[in-house]
Structure 1
Amino acid sequence: METSAARSYTGRITVSDLRIEVAPDVDLPAGARVTDPVVVTDGTVDGRPLRVAVMSDAQFVARDPDSPLIEAARRTLAEIAEARPELLVINGDLVDEGSPADFALARRLLDEFDARTGGRVPGHYVPGNHEIMGPGSTVNFEAAFGETTSVFDAKGTRFITLNTSTGTLRGGGFAQLQLLHDQLAAAAEDKSVSGVVLFEHHPTQDPLPDKASQLGDRKEAALVQQWLADFRTGSHKSAAFVGSHVGVFHAGSVDGVPYLVNGNSGKNPAGAPDNGGFTGWTMLGIEPSEGRTSDLFDVPSDDAGMWLRAEVHARTDAVSLSAPERLHVGERSEAAATVTQDGTRTVPVAWPMSADWGGARVDVVGDDHDGRSGGAPVVSFDPASGTLLARRAGTAVLRVTVNGVSAQRQITVRKH
């Protein structure tokens, strides 16, 4: 990966006797979509003691100060300020070219954020590949924001941020690999720590088919995954990894450790809208008391959601909800919602997007909130399947809220 915009290359390729072998067309069965429950699809993480906002990949430039990318970054920071998290992590590629002017503008946006929050939300900036895109090194980043790695604790959780700006960990210096090793060992022995969260701009695994946005050194990726798994089983404490860079939102687990990918906060997504390809940000909700196990022969539950859940906030201009107006008792039907972004992108409200379903006289199945339906439920709704069930005669109001924007539909249930 060439990180210097000043370098260019020319050459010539001559191809002779070109032949192509094309595989025959086949009809493959549709594979089941794999989703990870660490992402909240119905509810919020508002009740968790430690909430950490994550944004990345705005990729604005100072020479275009009125661009939609800067507006998107400002909007994201305003939404995060309104949510009042305990911490903010910018997980790389906030700027595009890594110039001193870019970082000066980034500092101005973060000063605006501090003014909104009264300086009560500490911020941590993790360098990505675009933070070195101009100079080819972190020199401008360090001049503006200091060290490229960090370690800090909050409410019993240790946070470690590493520098993958060159696409590898070793590109940021072998010392940070030693840092990760030593901090995991220290966290394992520290009785005040119940879990560890590791931030890097490049994820260990790219969920898209081309695999173009993961750590370039696959041995490094395997090493990180092995160390986090070993920490979890050896210390009986929880661990998680948060990456970005891919251009989609995603989550999966390896050996009981959640691996989250935060999507773009400004730049257009790299994937399809129904596959995490939308813009927004993530709120991590951590329950420190669930990170550690008391049984020396046990490890933290495979349900990592007891310790960590992720609420994915899609940038939302409007929400549209489709549901039947009338049903008969015992009848089943479907309801679905979509989000409109930037006036052109339509995204289904489904994993990995978070939403909050509810309403009057609606029993939401498998929800993450208190389940109050505002009276005896007239209908039941399962957000995972989109299934509505008419339970008794009456009138219900189904409502969905995505990132603070709501839509609702009235449903009348009659007897046969």
Structure 2
Amino acid sequence: MSSDQRKPLIRTRSWAQRTFGKMEEGSMRSSIFTLIASSMDTSCLSLPLILHYVGVVPGLCLILASALGSLIGMNCICKAASHRQIYSYSGLVYDVLGKGASIILEVLMILYIFFEIVGYQIICIITVVSFLKYFSIEIDEYKNFIMLGYTTFVLFPMSLMKKLTGLKHLSLFSIGSILYLCVVLIIDFPHFQSTNELSEVSWVSMDNDFFPACSLAVFAFVWHMSVATVFSEMKDPSLKRMQKANSRVFLIQVLIYIFIAVFGYLSLLEDTPMFITERNPPKHYTSDLYMCIGRLLIVFVIMCTVMLFTITCRQAIISLSSKFNKKEEVSTLTHVLITAFILYGALSVSIAIPAAEVIFTFLGATYTIFAYVYPALLEVHNTKKGWGDKGNIMVIMLAATFTIISGVGVINSAVKME
């Protein structure tokens, strides 16, 4: 028997097995799921408002451009990680751009996560108010006291966990809730659309609302903080496989978000709220029970997400402080005080600045720095072609454009609040 005949047969898995079979740790599907889970959250609730602000055509273009910009940024991070063999975003920035740039990145991430907690506190109380209104219960006068009690007796004790393993099922629940909302919007669309005229649809509307719309679109695609770590956990961490995973995440999330944006806006037109879960049903539509269930799901998702971000923010603060005092372990008292500072600080800001649009446009503007600017700088250093290279110039200009527009969006939203 020849040596060729003695070789075992290698059975390749079918498409159905690869797609629907058991999800193995480090597989392509596992990486895709992790990336989607880290980015698909309640930030998508404001997507219909983008179409209301600028019209259907520019709104969809903004969503696609933001997603494409995020994809380019992710691929830039993956290239640098593959080249340097460093799979921590801040560690990668430290190695390529230096200690100063790394510290600035960590400060920005802490600031970003803190204001995400602020934003989720605002969404939570708005969603609770909308949920209780379905049962004719008004709590507007007491909502600040309710949030204080909710923070003290629910969020604070549960956020004292030192590890994230207790929240491992959050990702699946969060994705399921967003998909449920998407299905509800599609199913209910005929009932809402029957009260609207096609002539009332805004196809193109370019004014000052373009800038906050851009910030909201950018904020919907938050992928970058985990991409390098996910890259390192793949069984075959080749650059080609990671870029393939990035592309699939891009396609899946864009498709779901476009459905939410289009069906959410066309259902309500001029009555489109900041968050689609706040929608008011038409008079002839006697029951909005499906959306009421969706609101309840969102409240639970937000509760788990705030705990997750509080733990992440605390870990980031401890990690940053260890670079100055060389102490990686902190006392139990320090652990509790940092947790209290994050949660009660976020609650105070959410009460002082209840305008959700200002918070979310600020998050979009902050996100552009570590989603576009830092990846662009990594790409320039990685290519070694210098600042004069056409490709590098294009990447830098794209990053600068998104950052400037998003920054103007924050100012515009703050002026509107006044």
Q: Same fold (TM over 0.5)?
A: no
Q: TM (normalized to structure 1)?
A: 0.20
Structure with the greater relative contact order (CA < 8 A, sep ≥ 6): 1 or 2?
2
More helix by share: 2
More strand by share: 1
